[in-house]
Chain A
């Protein structure tokens, strides 16, 4: 059967999206593959279709527990019951149950730390897998911003005779690609690299002398233009601050960050997706797993810490292919804050000394975390490196990491400060060539915002206050 027919049969789609077919063909030929596809371009289909065609289980290694759970939930929503997530959320009994019935699953999601447990490793070795997928593969790069030490261990688990490996990521520089090839021990992989350019997104940029003027502009802009939109900020505090200012102006907005109650976060997502909420003010916690095609605006309240993050966040606009605008706001000194935060989640030298001392005194270094002397993320990274190298060497590794982070910040900053075409610079950053500049390309090529942003229509926020009896009836029985 033709691939298109199989696609129709299993998913009901008549045709592939760019890149999918090429990637699947190579995988079916048994070749290792790296696919750089932007979020929302059907990355997961690249392993789902082969799973049905080869009719063997697929192992998917995924970095974030919540993301993993989302993916399993989504598969279940679409009727695929044979999906499971193997991670530290499972208790001993659940884990045992999953392990015993592993061969019955079609999609096995697993976290890297689970993957290296001997019991799990042995069990997986007994299975005949169709594919091994490494999702968010850029996390393997030590010099990347999303580095996960556990990812380096994936290479150790890969046996000599293994099925093809598929490395997936939204964006990666050549340096990161090199790390992916090397640590995943890929043999002359096929590489599909989708153009990072999104022609329907217009790149705006506004520079302000002070934070106050920036906030003023933001409030004014949001009061006069139409959403739906997402405003990205750097801290929970700033997120809440902007959201309350917008609410006071009578706009429909809400803040979203990891500090909110889990149900609240779901309500906000649902309200946003259904159009009951125009604006979400969020830390970067918002976006993964949220599928909304008609986001018209993305505003960055301050500079992002690297170009890849920026592209990923901007990429949440205009998934429906219609015009969308991304505006980056910058005021003098924003980079200081970003630099400060960048250093914050890496362990500092005092913590390295302390770690050493704990070990010498025969105390488990984990106690540092319990004593509130180090954050969980920092500890995870520190623990990994201290287990590999002596202290002095670790110090120099982290010095290099900080330098690398600073360099990424500077890369972003130079795009902001440059007078050149923003689109061109973004595309070049990922080692690609821009084929064609759209009209109203960016702030420097010239944008007439009026062409893309509709004036805000005063939706009279009708305060429909129902009694609880009526609300209950509507939820359970419908309006009629």
Chain B
């Protein structure tokens, strides 16, 4: 049900505008110009990269079901939600996700936490050798230095961490069930964790839904930890470098460095030996992420207003329409206006 909600919600936002594959790329967190622009244009930040391991088969199966059960119907170039589909969305609550800012890093946070918890659980009974639940060497190293620095053998760390977890997870704005799931994925001495399949059977819920709730819970928990940093010093340390403050792709980042040094698009394109349109993609990505990006250097204020009016008028954010209506503006200008226009004009 949760997966269905996610797919339908994205489909609703993108209907008549994009192909049926777009939600798939969004959920997987595809780092392509198109997907990243869609995040900005359609405000899809919560859903970006929520399910990096989603298989195409699983997704196609869901689409097939949605069509067969008349939640959506596919048109020649796009698709549209039916009244039944819209009703389904109204009857369900959205999950509080924050994919854009955590970018899968929530899993690093949990890896650190779960290895720390497993270590403390064993240390409590003075068992120093156990099979570490996290095999990644960098996580192990991080945890080792965390434990030594915080004098884990005294037993105080376990108590303090327990208090912090109890408080912060308790305050996280999400259902108790989601919290149960996250804690079931922790493991300790004589208390093995539970597999996705086991949790799914117990809660009578598809595995994919369990995993989405888990991700949502980690996002909400991290929000609480990062906002109330003073109250949760240990968890705050584990959450270091987890939230991406200016989330840019690697390539866009290099373009932005040059842009900030004052190079023009043409110059950057020559220096980086990349197409002009690629550099433009990068700048649009920057515009999505950086509220101080001066889009008025590229498009006049009155042109932005015209774009916004056209969007209202045609009830579409499709670039092709807009380009036909406003032929004097380039695609690059249109995209900038779409991702940032509202903030400039309001």
List chain A positions with a Cβ less than 8 A from chain B.
69, 73, 76-79, 89, 94, 247, 254-255, 260-264, 266-271, 274, 276, 463, 465, 467-469, 471-478
Contact = CB atoms under 8 A, between A and B. Distances in A.
A471 B135 contact: no
B45 to A, nearest CB: 26
Nearest to B166: A469
Nearest to A268: B195
Contact of A247 (B124, B128, B193, B201): B201
Interface string B104-133: 000000000010010011001100111111
Chain B CB within 10 Å, residue with most, of A69, A73, A94, A465: A73
A247 B158 CA distance: 36
Given A263-B193, A468-B183, 18 more contacts: A76-B129, A77-B129, A77-B130, A254-B195, A267-B198, A270-B187, A270-B192, A270-B193, A463-B202, A468-B184, A469-B170, A471-B183, A471-B186, A472-B165, A473-B162, A475-B186, A476-B124, A478-B125
Contacts of A261: 195-196
Contacts of A472: 162, 165-166, 183, 186
Contacts of A268: 195
A79 B127 CA distance: 12
B248 interface: no
Given A69-B135, A254-B197, A271 B192 contact: yes
Contacts of B130: 77
B159 A477 contact: yes
A261 B132 CA distance: 15
Contact of A468 (B182, B193, B194): B182
B197 A94 contact: no
A263 B185 contact: yes
Nearest to B211: A261
B296 interface: no
Interface in B189-220: 189-198, 201-202
Contacts of A468: 169, 176, 179-180, 182-184
Contact of A266 (B117, B133, B162): B133
A326 B136 CA distance: 36
A477 B191 CA distance: 12
6 contacts: A73-B131, A247-B201, A468-B169, A472-B166, A472-B183, A475-B188
Interface of B: 114, 117, 120-121, 124-125, 128-133, 135, 137, 158-159, 161-162, 165-166, 169-170, 176, 179-180, 182-198, 201-202
A64 B254 CA distance: 39
Contacts of B165: 472, 476
Main SS at interface, chain B:
helix
B221 to A, nearest CB: 12
Q: Which of B128, B158, B197 has the most CB of A within 10 A?
A: B197
Given A475-B117, A476-B162, A274 B190 contact: yes
A254 B199 CA distance: 12
A94 B197 CA distance: 36
A268 B131 CA distance: 13
A268 B187 CA distance: 11
Given A472-B162, A472-B166, A476-B162, A267 B201 contact: no
Given A254-B197, A468-B176, A472-B165, A266 B131 contact: yes
B117 A476 contact: yes
Contacts of A473: 162
Contacts of B159: 476-477
Contacts of A478: 124-125
Contacts of A465: 202
A471 B193 contact: no
A260 B207 CA distance: 12
Nearest to A254: B195
B34 to A, nearest CB: 23
Contacts of A270: 131, 187, 192-193
B124 A477 contact: yes
B195 A267 contact: yes
Contacts of B187: 266-267, 270, 475
Contacts of A476: 117, 120-121, 124, 158-159, 161-162, 165, 188
A274 B191 CA distance: 9
Contacts of A266: 131, 133, 187, 193
B113 to A, nearest CB: 11
A474 B186 CA distance: 11
Q: Which interface residue of A69, A260, A472 has the most chain B CB atoms within 10 A?
A: A472
A468 B174 CA distance: 13
Across chains A and B, which 3 residue pairs bring their CB atoms closest together, nearest first? A77-B129, A475-B188, A270-B192
B253 to A, nearest CB: 21
A114 to B, nearest CB: 16
